[in-house]
Amino acid sequence: MARAAAAEFARAAVSACAARGAFRVALAGGSTPIAAYETLADPRGPHRQAVPWEKVHVFFGDERQVPPDSRLSNAFMAKEALLRHVPIPPDQVHRIRGENPDPDRAAEEYEEILRDRFRLGGSERPRFDLVLLGMGADGHTASLFPGSRGLEEQNRLAIATEAPVEPTGRITLTLPVLNAAAETLVLVTGAAKGPAFARVRAGGPLPAARLRPVDGSLLWLLDRAAAAAAA
């Protein structure tokens, strides 16, 4: 699954750079994408040389309310697994400032970054070339959890929300932003997540089931354990 995800990332990056001169991607956090990031960064692998890293602009789907050097930080994980190993210009990596003690302000600041980098006006939304996501055993994606008020947000680009597990403070992109992407790739690993994927596939009321790109593609990648448990 990690190899397939890395290949899809590389394909999307090469295609976007050829068409528009840049590749704008929102990275997933948590443990699920680590192997894919390491595969991309592997100097012996096929993708390290294929991706035009100097044209890659990195954003994040969500962040935990922790310092950037915390091992719980999504930005820290991405840095260790991928970003410090590839030549992306530092000013093209745009992290969410999870260390801000005011999560609402952190969300506002990230929305300002998105508006500036995508040159948005009014009610426009950023269109990522690729959004990478994971899914939890409860069906959450990014930091949009079952029952979260953020699931109904239609106007904001990023919001503060809460998780049912520590660290509870989160900042996340909203569903309208996720669904505006040109391509969405959802990675699912482990038998514990198989039942949630089965519910999503059946149209159940889970956050991940609300990933419905308006004008883009949605691809789910499951490892063997998750696929077997979802059967």
Question: What pLDDT does residue 68 have?
Answer: 96
Question: What pLDDT does residue 29 have?
Answer: 96
Residue 55 resides in a domain: no
Residue 35 resides in a domain: yes
Question: What pLDDT does residue 222 have?
Answer: 97
Residue 158 resides in a domain: yes
User: Which helix (H) or strand (E) element contains residue 217?
Assistant: strand 217-222
| Residue 168: CATH number of its domain | 3.40.50.1360
Residue 67 resides in a domain: yes
Residue 153 resides in a domain: yes
Question: What pLDDT does residue 183 have?
Answer: 98
Question: What pLDDT does residue 184 have?
Answer: 98
Question: What pLDDT does residue 50 have?
Answer: 95
Question: What pLDDT does residue 17 have?
Answer: 98
How would you write the pLDDT of the chain (231 residues) with one tens digit per residue?
Answer: 999 999 999 999 999 999 999 999 999 999 999 999 999 999 999 999 999 999 999 999 999 999 999 999 999 999 999 999 999 999 999 999 999 999 999 999 999 999 999 999 999 999 999 999 999 999 999 999 999 989 999 999 999 999 999 999 999 999 999 999 999 999 999 999 999 999 999 999 999 999 999 999 999 999 999 999 999
d(CA 51, CA 69): 27
Question: What pLDDT does residue 1 have?
Answer: 94
State the total domains in the chain: 1
DSSP designation for 7: H
DSSP designation for 92: G
Strand 62-64 vs strand 169-173: parallel, antiparallel, or unpaired? antiparallel
Residue 184 resides in a domain: yes
Q: Cis before residue 167, ω within 30 degrees of 0?
A: yes
> Which stretches within 133-202 are classed as H helix?
175-178, 194-201
Residue 215 resides in a domain: yes
User: Which helix (H) or strand (E) element contains residue 30?
Assistant: none
Side chain identity, residue 210 = R
Residue span of the structural domain in which 214 resides: 2-45+62-230
Question: What pLDDT does residue 45 have?
Answer: 93
What number of other Cβ atoms are within 10 A of residue 34's Cβ?
17
Contacts 24+ apart (CB under 8 A), 74-79: 74/27, 74/28, 74/29, 74/30, 74/98, 77/29, 77/30, 77/31, 77/34, 78/27, 78/29, 78/37
